[in-house]
Amino acid sequence: MSHPVSLISGAGPEISLLSWTVEPAVIVPVVTAATLYVRGWTPLAHRMPERFGAGRLIAVMAGLATVILALSSPLDALGHHLLLAHMIQHLLLMAVAPPLLWMGAPVAPILLGLPRPIRRRVAIVLASNPLRRVTHVLADPRVSWVAFVIAFWAWHVPALYDRSLRSDSWHHVQHACFFASGLLFWRPVILPWPAGSSWPRWAMIPYLVLAELQNSTLAAILTFSDRVIYRAYEAVPRVWDISALADQSIAGVIMWVPGSLVFLLPVLWLIVTAIAAPAPGRVGAARHHDWPPRPYAGTRK
């Protein structure tokens, strides 16, 4: 259960602007992940400085900070009054935090950061056939794309969305679905070391473009609708005298512009690196395990 920590006194919904929440279900996993990552990254940075430079550490810490910003900052309280705040939350959880975390190649550092007895048990579990089959399925870009789109549209169905605003339990489930589907979606795009893929890198271009198209579709619906889609926002006190319909239009623009850039910037990078890459006959078939993708496969250590 969240415990709001207000920084000012007063009445009215505007108080939520300065209300941070102490949510153990968020803070404990984030602090634990950060601790384990640093503990494992430190020796890896000495052994493989070309693989685990400071950029990895910065990316993971930025990703974890983004999770805190989305779930424990004033955005969380304000999201109950403004759709635009909720939209920023969803963007952070689905399209900002996950790629940042994958850029840090977190699997090896976190495993190495575990105490040795626990690490051995975890390694045994990870090597088990049932779990390997599950991870193989989840790593399939087709599965990750479909999971992302289902989570995206299902939780924006008015009945389910309004339920998440009225129930803390459903609200937590919604955010967990957004974050988990975001992690699945961005993994084949980033391909965090030591991950590999049988899909060619150019396949990630339609993968991202199609995701952006469905994002823009919902954004257009929210921006141009002449009625309030999520009725729960009509029943709460308004903040800054923004009407529910105006709030909805602004939320649509947020989803449309920053949301589209999150998908299109990686597309641009993939196109540029594909153009810059030398002919296959000069360096052989490229297998990319890092983000940003390297134009020369021979630079892989």
Dihedral sign from CA coordinates of 127, 106, 31, 36: positive
pLDDT (0 to 100) of residue 289: 44
Domain boundaries, the chain: 14-299
pLDDT (0 to 100) of residue 9: 36
pLDDT (0 to 100) of residue 132: 84
pLDDT tens per residue, range 244-269: 999 999 999 999 999 999 999 999 99
pLDDT (0 to 100) of residue 278: 64
Q: Return phi, psi of residue 203, to 5°.
A: -65, -20
- Rounded percentage of the chain residues whose pLDDT exceeds 90: 61
Report pTM: 0.84
Terminal C-alpha separation, the chain = 46
Q: Return phi, psi of residue 24, to 5°.
A: -55, -35
pLDDT (0 to 100) of residue 294: 41
pLDDT (0 to 100) of residue 29: 94
pLDDT (0 to 100) of residue 18: 61
Distance between CA atoms of 17 and 164, rounded to whole angstroms? Answer: 20
Distance between CA atoms of 24 and 157, rounded to whole angstroms? Answer: 29
pLDDT (0 to 100) of residue 283: 43
Contact between residue 269 and residue 263 where contact means Cβ atoms under 8 Å apart: no
* List of residues 6+ apart from 39 with CB closer than 8 A: 109, 112, 113
- Rounded percentage of the chain residues whose pLDDT exceeds 70: 86
pLDDT (0 to 100) of residue 11: 42
Contact between residue 189 and residue 208 where contact means Cβ atoms under 8 Å apart: yes
Residues of the chain falling short of pLDDT 50: 1-13, 16, 282-301
